[in-house]
Amino acid sequence: SQTIHQWPATLVQPVGSPLSLECTVEGTSNPNLYWYRQAAGRGLQLLFYSVGIGQISSEVPQNLSASRPQDRQFILSSKKLLLSDSGFYLCAWSAEVYGYTFGSGTRLTVV
């Protein structure tokens, strides 16, 4: 069966520090991968998606970036965090036309 792993679960980082969140998927090949952010009281905002290794599409211009170094690995990064980067970050995968499977999320607080 397919599983998705996302870590860490919580993270407190100072303003200006770097960020690296990792997501891996097991049990499927060539999945579509996504990063979403959910700020307090707001909906899910699509940040990045990837349809293959090295293929990244950005939906929202910001100081975040994403990479897909391997087929089932998706990384969200930042060189310098801002207060506004705080939120609940969710990784998800999908295959063709079907529901997304989300990871358990990372609660990021920038202080």
Partner 1 sequence: SQKIEQNSEALNIQEGKTATLTCNYTNYSPAYLQWYRQDPGRGPVFLLLIRENEKEKRKERLKVTFDTTLKQSLFHITASQPADSATYLCALQAGTALIFGKGTTLSVSS
CB 73 within 8 A of CB 92: no
Smallest separation, CB 34 to partner 1 (Å): 6
Smallest separation, CB 82 to partner 1 (Å): 23
Nearer of residues 10 and 20 to partner 1, judged by Cβ: 10
Smallest separation, CB 31 to partner 1 (Å): 12
What residues contact 29, with CB distance under 8 A and at least 6 apart?
71, 72
**Interface with partner 1 by CB under 8 A: which residues?**
32, 34, 36, 42-44, 46, 49, 51, 57, 59, 88, 90, 92, 94, 97-105, 107
